[in-house]
Chain A
Amino acid sequence: MTVLDWTIVGLYVALMLGIGYWVYRTKIKSFDDYYLAGRRLGLPVLIGTITSTYFGLDSVLGDSEMGFTLGASGLFAYPVVGTAMIIVLAFLGPSIKRRSAEMRTPAEIIGGVYGHPARLAAAIGSAVYSFPLLGFMAMGFIARVALGLPYWTGVVFGALIVVAYTLLGGMRADAITDAFQFGIIGVGVGAGALIMWGRIGNPQILEGLRSFVGGDPAAFLSPSGGWLTAGLFFTYAISAISVFCEPGLFQRIFAARSDRTVRSAFVIGALAYLLFGVCATFIGVLSAAAVGQGILPAEIHSDEVLIAASIRYLPVGLLGLFIAGILAAGMSTIDSQLVIAGANISYDAYKSVLRPQASDAQLIRVSRIGIVAIAVVSAALSFFFQRIMGAWVFISGALINSTLFPLYVALYGKGRVSRLAGNVAAVFGLTATIAYYLVLTLAGGLDPDWGTYILRFTLFGRPVALWQEYNVFVILPLVLILYWVIHAADPNKAVRAAARGGKA
């Protein structure tokens, strides 16, 4: 990194803080202004913020990691599945917006139909999902790998910067910084892939890959990679269903100016997500060729290839811009999560249970206190958690199992509704996820080969291996069964007032 690159990174951080202060001075008048940007987001900013929320740091680094380890077939692990999910949301999003006109959170939709217990369970699931633990860990990682600084500097300074502009500007500051990040990441991964391919050259790429895989690289360049089956692809798709109850995407749907804006933003966002994903995946593939050629070190870790390749290949200036974009990708995920977790505390818990008459000013104040508390706890935890995937499996399970089913029954179910069934299903989904995680961690063993907790036992004479990763496959069907059994047995079904702001 040269002085010019460092200057660009510094200017970018200053721009984000400036945006937070500007929004704070001019735009924040009510809780809707703070949490939903006044429900006035137009198409350009919505495209940027939707894509940035979905194409966060985990996607940028994850895509290149998949390309590096799996080859071209890595495209099917994230980018293709993710694009398909966003396209489905392009069709669902407008109808979700119409059906929940005055709503602010998925937990509120659930609470409006079933009542407080279900709302609180969904709010806890959403807040757990929105703890920016992984984001802080990633900031420490970037500081170490890209900037050559100690891990703690990334966590502490990243937290201070992101908390500062989030406290000031709320969702609107988040959306504006997302839009800049979207543009910079697009230029960065696109230029990175073009420059890398051009500088290594086709014959050398093929030779490098041959040396990297230790034989014919045909499988490394094949779309199926010799390992991808329809069943595995389906499993990837199932594991990505958290997007359908992702509080960040719901927040953006509610914040959009109109339902037409939602559809257009999701369609364009899906295309951008796919294009960025192709570029990032192939930066990973090209990095494998560079390792085979001896240009990048053979001992490089798969999650470091994108940054190492950028430092090696991007010219002065563009490198600084790209590193700023990577930092912003991390920050834009963290700020979005902080705003949501703050609203889960202030709006879904404080206002709905403790103080229904709370004013907008009080809600914003409680949100800000919640944001600082969550940021401090997450930053502290980021020094202790070692297994990123273990944490991710737990938090996405908590969200999906508590929220997905009750939410979509509340939005799209027809006929009379059993409030008891909804409350039991949501509370069971949350508590069962926690119990599953605890039981597997305490009674199961950390498998050294797979790097995850597995509980092995015998059922009806057959050996069974329960993985930590299976929690959604085990618990979600139980939630579904529990809901329909109680729904069928409950004599006190209420007439649905649906999720349109009325009470069931």
Chain B
Amino acid sequence: MNALRFWQLIVYFSAAVSVVGSVVYLVIYVRSLLRGQD
């Protein structure tokens, strides 16, 4: 169970950063695309 808890922490962290990071990335990218910067 300890090993599972350890991986749960790693996976929840990775997944949360992936989701939030990807959404923030898409917002930043679309804004720069619309401004003609990229």
> CB within 8 Å of B: which residues of A?
41-42, 44-45, 47-48, 72, 176, 179-180, 182-187, 189-191, 193-194, 197, 202, 205-206, 218, 221-222, 272, 274-276, 278-279, 282, 285
List of A residues within 8 angstroms of B17 by Cβ: 190, 275
Taking the closest CB of chain B, its distance from the CB of A50, in whole angstroms, is 13
A47 to B37, CA, bound (A): 15
Residues A190 and B18 in contact, CB atoms below 8 Å apart: yes
Question: Which residue of chain A is the closest to B28 with respect to CB atoms?
Answer: A44
A78 to B8, CA, bound (A): 20
Residues A282 and B11 in contact, CB atoms below 8 Å apart: yes
Known contacts A182-B22, A183-B22, A186-B18, A222 near B3 by CB under 8 Å? yes
Residues B25 and A194 in contact, CB atoms below 8 Å apart: no
Known contacts A44-B25, A202-B1, A218-B3, A190 near B37 by CB under 8 Å? no
Total number of residue pairs linking A and B with CB closer than 8 Å? 95
Question: What DSSP secondary structure best describes chain A's contact surface?
Answer: helix
Taking the closest CB of chain A, its distance from the CB of B2, in whole angstroms, is 9
12 cross-chain CB contacts under 8 A? A42-B32, A48-B25, A72-B3, A176-B38, A190-B18, A205-B4, A206-B4, A274-B14, A276-B18, A278-B14, A279-B18, A282-B11
A185 to B21, CA, bound (A): 11
List of A residues within 8 angstroms of B23 by Cβ: 183, 187
A274 to B11, CA, bound (A): 11
A180 to B37, CA, bound (A): 16
Residues A72 and B7 in contact, CB atoms below 8 Å apart: yes
A47 to B16, CA, bound (A): 19
List of B residues within 8 angstroms of A272 by Cβ: 18, 21
A42 to B26, CA, bound (A): 14
Residues B16 and A183 in contact, CB atoms below 8 Å apart: no
Residues B11 and A279 in contact, CB atoms below 8 Å apart: yes
Residues A194 and B7 in contact, CB atoms below 8 Å apart: no
A249 to B11, CA, bound (A): 28
List of A residues within 8 angstroms of B19 by Cβ: 186-187, 190-191, 194
List of B residues within 8 angstroms of A42 by Cβ: 32, 37-38
A193 to B12, CA, bound (A): 8
A197 to B10, CA, bound (A): 12
Taking the closest CB of chain B, its distance from the CB of A98, in whole angstroms, is 23
Option from A176, A184, A194 in Cβ contact (under 8 Å) with B33: A176
Residues B25 and A182 in contact, CB atoms below 8 Å apart: yes
Residues B28 and A194 in contact, CB atoms below 8 Å apart: no
Taking the closest CB of chain B, its distance from the CB of A42, in whole angstroms, is 5
A306 to B12, CA, bound (A): 18
List of B residues within 8 angstroms of A278 by Cβ: 10-11, 14-15
List of A residues within 8 angstroms of B4 by Cβ: 202, 205-206, 221
Taking the closest CB of chain A, its distance from the CB of B26, in whole angstroms, is 4
A186 to B15, CA, bound (A): 8
List of A residues within 8 angstroms of B21 by Cβ: 186, 272, 275
A282 to B6, CA, bound (A): 13
Residues B8 and A197 in contact, CB atoms below 8 Å apart: yes
Residues A279 and B26 in contact, CB atoms below 8 Å apart: no
Known contacts A202-B8, A206-B1; 12 further A-B pairs (Cβ under 8 A) = A182-B22, A183-B25, A186-B25, A190-B14, A193-B11, A194-B11, A194-B15, A202-B4, A202-B5, A205-B4, A278-B10, A278-B14
Residues B15 and A279 in contact, CB atoms below 8 Å apart: yes
Q: Which of B11, B19, B25 has the most CB of A within 10 A?
A: B11
List of A residues within 8 angstroms of B12 by Cβ: 194, 197
Residues A221 and B7 in contact, CB atoms below 8 Å apart: yes
List of A residues within 8 angstroms of B8 by Cβ: 197, 202
List of A residues within 8 angstroms of B3 by Cβ: 72, 218, 221-222
List of B residues within 8 angstroms of A276 by Cβ: 18
A423 to B21, CA, bound (A): 46
A67 to B19, CA, bound (A): 20
A185 to B37, CA, bound (A): 24
A274 to B18, CA, bound (A): 10
List of B residues within 8 angstroms of A183 by Cβ: 22-23, 25-26, 29
List of B residues within 8 angstroms of A176 by Cβ: 33, 38
Taking the closest CB of chain A, its distance from the CB of B1, in whole angstroms, is 6
Counting from the closest, the 9 A-B pairs by CB-CB distance are: A186-B22, A190-B18, A183-B26, A190-B19, A278-B14, A190-B15, A221-B3, A193-B15, A275-B14
